Structure 1
Amino acid sequence: MSAPHGPGFSGRLGWGTHPAVVVIDFVRAYAEPDGPFALPEPGPALAACAELVDAARAGGYPVVWTVVRYTPGLADGGLFLRKVPALGAFAEDADGDWGEIAPPLKPAPGEPVVVKQYASAFFGTSLAATLHATGVDTVVIAGVSTSGCVRASATDALSHGFRPQVVRQACADRTPALHANNLADLDAKYADVVDLSAALTRLSTRP
């Protein structure tokens, strides 16, 4: 049976030899029920992210985090903020500390936290340079939301010469359909979508 997107899609990128886990924007705004971007069931994805991070640390692989943050007054929000006004919750002077990374996730000392203003973790940030400088060739992507910042980051990872591996159970979105549909399209064109168990196995072994 041919791939659902046709025979010209859904090739495999595979893993290189030097992966890094990148956790995209899994902050309190998504994880808490009264947050401005509250997910219906964040618990399973949070737990999966924690497993990935633990496996990367145990295997000696880098872990990088991203958060969205704006200056007081939102001067650096641009048109993205006009399109999604709720992003104002990530201003430095906003109430609620919604931009804090959600427990039980927590960056370890020395793990970079990349601050961004737009969807992609690569746009206008030092992420690509940081990863290239440490020899990373594979980006294991987790976080939120699947249809937004995860998708944009995976697409840009490919454009920057990395092999994006999007971990199905470690991402989440505001509806199951959005999550599933975007994973299917990412897997067809921009990334390999992999199961948590396979990612954990790969991170537990050295090349």
Structure 2
Amino acid sequence: MTGSRSPQEDYERAGFDGHLTPGTSPALLLVDPARAYVDPDCPLYAGVEQAADTMRLLLADARRAGIPVIVTRVLLRADGSDGGLFLRKVPALRVFAEDSPFSAFIDGLAPAPDELTVTKQSPSAFYDTALAAHLTANGIDTLLIGGLSTSGCVRATALDAMQHGFVPVVVEEAVGDRDPDVHAANLFDIRHKIGEVWPLRRVQEYLATPLG
């Protein structure tokens, strides 16, 4: 930061002030709403119950609006043999083994039978999955993103969404992280370098507007 300017002012002065306009064909993407993050008995417990509550509201809004819903999950073989470098770097990811109760969806955030589940073994929902092809085939141009955690899989997914040509809109109250400062810093970076960060209220207004 230069002089007395705030980080916001400094970034905007440097040219990090662009905006992406959401399109008329959105989908909701919930990233890894796993029990691991809200169960105090799990090593990955992150105290993000409030974000989970907002995700439930967002999911209900998306279903009322009739837009596609996609929910991702990390799921590893019981022996961790498909975890790759991600598991080696973060051994705690073993809680997402296929036989672990912590890999289950948070109550109220499981996809419906007619909604897409994307299973992944890496941070981004796009890496080594058919997500981009699915979105393209269904004419999706915008992703409303909630999920866990802000600094990890949410950020990686938002970045890849932008790089694949889908406007990422991260729903501010529907994402969470174990540290509020890390959470805020990553939302700041997403807002200035990757996509849009909107409050739930603004997303609800967007969904209530005729999109066609």
Instruction: Please indicate the TM-score interval, normalised by the length of the shorter structure.
Output: over 0.9
C-alpha displacement of 1:19: 0.6
Q: Deviations over 1:28-70 (max 9, x none)?
A: 0001122221112x22211111111111111110110000011
8 Å contact from structure 2 (residues 148, 154) kept in 1: yes
2:17 alignment counterpart: 10
C-alpha displacement of 1:137: 0.2
C-alpha displacement of 1:204: 2.2
Equivalent position to 1:101, from 105, 117, 129: 105
Stretch moving more, 113-122 or 48-57: 48-57
Distance between the aligned counterparts of 1:21 and 1:186, measured in 2? 18
Matched, 1:75 2:81: yes
1:187 alignment counterpart: 191
Matched, 1:146 2:146: no
C-alpha displacement of 1:197: 0.4
Matched, 1:90 2:93: no
Secondary structure of the equivalent of 2:29? Answer: strand
8 Å contact from structure 2 (residues 172, 197) kept in 1: yes
C-alpha displacement of 1:72: 2.5
Distance between the aligned counterparts of 1:178 and 1:14, measured in 2? 26
Equivalent position to 2:134, from 114, 127, 130: 130
Pair member with larger Rg: 2
C-alpha displacement of 1:78: 0.7
8 Å contact from structure 2 (residues 37, 46) kept in 1: yes
Q: TM-score, normalised by structure 1?
A: 0.94
Q: Which runs of 5+ in 2 are unaligned?
A: none
The sequence identity of aligned pairs, in percent, is 46
8 Å contact from structure 2 (residues 71, 110) kept in 1: no
Matched, 1:157 2:167: no
Distance between the aligned counterparts of 2:171 and 2:120, measured in 1? 21
Distance between the aligned counterparts of 1:36 and 1:14, measured in 2? 39
Equivalent position to 1:21, from 13, 17, 28: 28
Total equivalences in the alignment: 204
Runs of 4 or more, structure 1, over 2 Å off, are: 1-4
Distance between the aligned counterparts of 1:57 and 1:195, measured in 2? 18
